[in-house]
């Protein structure tokens, strides 16, 4: 299954990142290149310490590589995100990127609905009524109808994780970076999340990259990558997908 090149929206090219451990410097990301496609969910797997979170941070403009480039396509133009000024990069992230971190990073004082609403109101200037409608729709999709008024302390770990996922997807980001988004969830809630990421990638044409240890996710994504000791093990493996795409 070869995907036409014009569907590539995010490219990592010959990326290197070293960390110093005592006196020694070690390449935690060691000459990694990766192409990500619009409308696809890519799974990044690998043992603990293999560099998955580091690669995600580099690709999303949060951690500068020592060498190599990250190119992102925005409105048909290729931008080198590590050549932008910090301010430009932050603006780029605000316009285009959604993040799901392992810790949920929810605001303690806000209700589930407000966590999503503020992203639309502050970020995109969406009027209050519409922001509320879209927040409630997203919470419904995530199986959180009825929990709109709950604050993080009143939600379970899995529910908080789903609010965090809703917050990342609500603005229909062009790129979405998810680090272990299903780790706090049981298998069936995890499947709901992956299915939602799939749906988001197809409906919003988003490029989604998910880091996970869970091999069961393989059949729910479009393509997978394996990192070991900072190196990409083999070429991208298209996954046997039973999702939307397959049934269309």
Q: Which residues here bind ligand ATP, judged by CB under 6 A?
A: 19, 28, 46, 48-54
Contacts of 140 (CB under 8 A, 6+ apart): none
Cβ-proximal residue to Mg ion, closest one: 53
50 vs 241, which CB is nearer to ligand ATP?
50
Instruction: Select from 51-59, 92-100, 202-210, 232-240 the region that touches Mg ion (CB under 5 A).
Output: 51-59
Q: Which is nearer to ligand ATP, 148 or 214 (CB)?
A: 214
Q: Please report the DSSP string for 100-116 in residue order.
A: E-SS----TTS-HHHHH
* Alpha carbon of residue 55 to chain centroid: 12
> Should residue 53 be labelled a site residue for Mg ion when binding is judged by CB under 5 A?
yes
Contact (CB, 8 A) for 105 and 77: no
Give the 3-state secondary structure percentages of the chain, helix then strand then coil, rounded to 5: 35, 30, 35
182 contacts Mg ion (rule: CB under 5 A): no
Could you say which of ligand ATP, Mg ion, none residue 111 binds, taking C-beta under 5 to 8 angstroms by partner kind?
A: none
Could you give the CA distance from residue 136 to residue 118 in angstroms, rounded to a whole number?
Answer: 13
Residue 190 DSSP SS3: helix
Place of tokens 């994504």: 221
Site for Mg ion in 71-130 (CB under 5 A): none
Q: Smallest distance from the beta carbon of 237 to ligand ATP, in angstroms? A: 18
In degrees rounded to 5, what are phi and psi of residue 95?
-70, -35
Q: Which stretch binds Mg ion (CB under 5 A): 49-57, 145-153, 214-222, 233-241?
A: 49-57
The smaller minimum CB distance to Mg ion, of residues 152 and 181, is found at: 181
Total residues at the site for Mg ion (CB under 5 A)? 1
CB of 48 to ligand ATP, least distance (A): 3
Q: Identify which of residues 170 and 211 has a Cβ nearer to ligand ATP in the complex.
A: 211
The residue whose two tokens read 């729709």 is: 137
Binding site for Mg ion (CB under 5 A): 53
């Amino acid at each position: 299954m070869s995907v036409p090149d014009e569907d590539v929206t995010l490219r990592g090219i010959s990326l290197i990142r070293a960390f110093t451990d005592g006196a020694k410097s070690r390449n935690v990301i060691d000459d990694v290149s990766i192409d990500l496609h619009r409308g696809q969910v890519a799974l990044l797997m690998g043992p603990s310490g293999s560099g998955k979170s580091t690669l995600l941070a580099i690709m999303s403009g949060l951690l500068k590589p020592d060498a190599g480039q990250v190119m992102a396509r925005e409105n048909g133009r290729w931008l080198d995100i590590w050549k932008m000024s910090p301010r430009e990069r932050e603006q780029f992230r605000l316009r285009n990127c959604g993040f799901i971190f392992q810790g949920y990073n929810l605001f303690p004082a806000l209700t589930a609905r407000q966590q999503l609403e503020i992203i639309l109101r502050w970020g995109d200037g969406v009027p209050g009524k519409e922001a509320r409608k879209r927040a409630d729709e997203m919470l419904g999709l995530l199986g959180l109808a009825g929990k709109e008024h709950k604050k993080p302390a009143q939600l379970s770990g899995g529910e908080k994780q789903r609010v965090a996922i809703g917050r990342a997807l609500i603005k229909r980001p062009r790129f979405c970076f998810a680090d272990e988004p299903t780790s706090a969830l049981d298998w069936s809630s995890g499947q709901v999340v992956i299915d939602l990421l799939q749906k988001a990638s197809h409906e919003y044409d988003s490029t989604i990259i998910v880091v996970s240890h869970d091999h069961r996710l393989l059949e729910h994504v479009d393509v997978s990558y394996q990192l070991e000791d900072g190196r990409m093990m083999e070429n991208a493996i298209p996954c046997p997908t039973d999702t939307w795409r397959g049934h269309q």
